[in-house]
Amino acid sequence: MTFARFIWKSLVAIKDGLVLVLLLLFFWAIYAALTVRPGGGMVREGALYLPLEGPVVEERTRINATQLLISRNGPRKEYQERDLVRAIEGAATDQRIKAVVIDLEKFGGGRQVHLARIGEAMDKVRAAKKPVLVRSNYYTDSSMLLAAHASEVWVDPIGGAVISGPGGTNLYYKSLLDRLKVKAHVFRVGTFKSAVEPYIRDDASPASKEALGAVYAAVWEAWQADVHKARPQADIALVTGDPVKWLAAAGNDSALAAKQAGLVDQIGDKAAFGARVARIVGAESGATAGTFRSTQLGAYLADLGEPHPGKGIAVVTIANEIVDGDAGPGIAGGDRIAKLLDDAALKDYPALVVRVDSPGGSVLASERIRAAIERWKASGKPVIVSMANLAASGGYWVSTPASRIFAEPATITGSIGIFGIVPSFEDTLANWGVHADGVRTTPLSGQPDLFGGLTPQVEQIAQAEIEQNYARFLGLVAKSRNKTPAEIDKIAQGRIWDGGTARQLGLVDQLGDLDDALVFAAGAAKLAPGAWHPVFLGNKPDTLTSVIEQAMGKNVDSDSGSDDGSAGDIIALASAHQRGLAAQLDHDLSLLLSGQGAQAYCLECAGVATTNGAVPSAKGWLGHILARLLG
């Protein structure tokens, strides 16, 4: 009987082993089929076709393979700004490409610095005497900023445009917390550090409105200047001054109103637009009406390849919130980025460019990244910072080791301040008949106690630590900017600044984009023009995730985009705004309930940008509450 059991177990083990081998062979076959990289032969004579079905970001979010498999809809598409710029600029001199065609129907938006840079690339195509055609159902601020640089702008007959400018509302929770009897213990330094105001006020403070108003004005001026330069015929004052009168003059026909205001050139549906493109680049033989010969982004980038002349200049990207741990890419995990920097320091990179597009976050994570950058600087290699849309609070903290800081006029920076938030629920529980009591051996025993309350000593220690971190922040900035901490304190206090003002104040050295920063870094490293190329650290894609993305139709060239793109009309815009407020609610409550440490974070910066490219928390606010109460 024992021998029979042994034989049976052996046969089962052999069977399981064979099944495992077959599964491995099956998945490797799928991998081989899906990872065949498109080559030069995949680029067809015709148009470079860019149907943008998601937001433009600094760094694509890396989604966990397990999340991809269990998700019903899969991740939204994201397009790295530098990929789009490289493709569009490549099309300008490529004899195979007769036109650049951009479809913004499902566009997920983007921040102003990124979109302006893509617009410059579109200008290069037009300068090469090639048409750039853009279409959408409905144009908003971000899509109009791109469309302004096109030679032909099309809108659907039932579409239109709405230009709203920066600004809007934030949510404030003081009365709600009072009703729930939740105490939000706030520790902060900075008159303008308004990130904590939603938890201690029911409205924005005058100081917050003053700072935001100045930044909004600068960003809006930069937007109008960009659009006016690219499209002088666009009457922005007419569109934004009295939009009701503007629409009424066109018989409330939004598409016609957009054309009369010079925002668009042609009114026509997608088929008519496609037919127009086909007359320029050639029709697709045997295909439906309105199709044209084209190559999409992924195939074209693969054909272009990466430039590799001379030495590589290391570029580390700090994108979105700075958090503790190994998170990212697409979010700035402090440990992950510090390790990238330390590993790269062992290689023969002559210079480092730090690309920052972040509102900040964890003080601990920001310090770990800063210390790793400082180690580069100590080695004698040039360290240059290039600020994109946001380099505020923790985003400025990590910039302090730089020997030179580049920003752009629409960059939001500053917000030099620190805060921390700890909620406690003793009054909430008491309202339901639950009370906390016990014995302490010291004032710190059992503290911080979220259910029994914080002792005065803990509150004093927490505030003292926040003040000490602020003093350290001032010292780092003062050393970097060759000023005294007192001088920095006058322009700090948590206040945000636009790039132009930041330069005047000495927080920024020079206005310029990433290319300008790279050229400066190459010069500082004594590299001749054309004898260097950028190397983006940590940019290698995860193979398994890439395979699953392609299998789910989520790669950049697939046609199965998400439904969170450009709105179809003003009602759909309201719906999109509602989703944005829901995401803000989730984020704000997560910040309150997550138990994070001291934060160098610019919450108010989110209102300046169209999208931050971050993936919303999968847990949600209810999950955070349950985790806090039950965990």
Q: How far apart are CA 536 and CA 304, in angstroms?
A: 17
Q: How far apart are CA 459 and CA 108, in angstroms?
A: 43
Helices (H), 417-536: 426-431, 456-481, 485-491, 499-505, 514-524
Query: Can you tell me which residue has the tokens 């894609």?
Result: 541
Catalytic one among 143, 208, 393, 415? Answer: 393
- Find, among 379, 301, 298, 365, the residue nearest to 328 by Cα: 365
- What are the structure tokens assigned to 191, written together? 């008159």
C-alpha gyration radius of the chain: 27
- Cis upstream peptide for 307 (omega within 30°): no
Length of the chain: 631
Annotation marks residue 106 as catalytic: no
Tally of helices (H runs) and strands (E runs) in the chain: 24, 22
Report DSSP letters for 397-443, one per residue: HTTTT-SEEEE-TT-EEE---EEEEEEE-HHHHHHTT-------SST
CB 390 within 8 Å of CB 357: yes
Annotation marks residue 393 as catalytic: yes
CA distances from 379 to 336, 348, 400, 510 (A): 21, 12, 16, 24
User: At 187, which amino acid appears?
Assistant: F
DSSP state of 283: B
Q: How far apart are CA 157 and CA 136, in angstroms?
A: 10
DSSP state of 559: S
- What are the structure tokens assigned to 7, written together? 């034989």
The set of residues, in sequence order, having a beta carbon less than 8 Å from that of 147 and lying 6+ positions away, is: 104, 134, 136, 139, 153, 263, 264
Catalytic one among 98, 124, 130, 193? Answer: 193
CB 255 within 8 Å of CB 261: no
- Find, among 286, 288, 306, 304, the residue nearest to 296 by Cα: 304
Q: How far apart are CA 135 and CA 101, in angstroms?
A: 8
CB 416 within 8 Å of CB 190: yes
Secondary structure class of 178 (helix, strand, coil): helix
- Find, among 196, 206, 576, 227, the residue nearest to 420 by Cα: 196
CB 612 within 8 Å of CB 606: yes
User: At 179, which amino acid appears?
Assistant: R
CA distances from 213 to 118, 140, 210, 498 (A): 27, 21, 5, 11
User: At 268, which amino acid appears?
Assistant: G
**Using CA of residue 256, residue 258, residue 264, residue 268, what is the dihedral sign?**
negative
CB 119 within 8 Å of CB 223: no
Q: How far apart are CA 509 and CA 499, in angstroms?
A: 10
**Using CA of residue 414, residue 514, residue 383, residue 597, what is the dihedral sign?**
positive
- Find, among 47, 136, 52, the residue nearest to 94 by Cα: 47
Active site residues: 193, 393
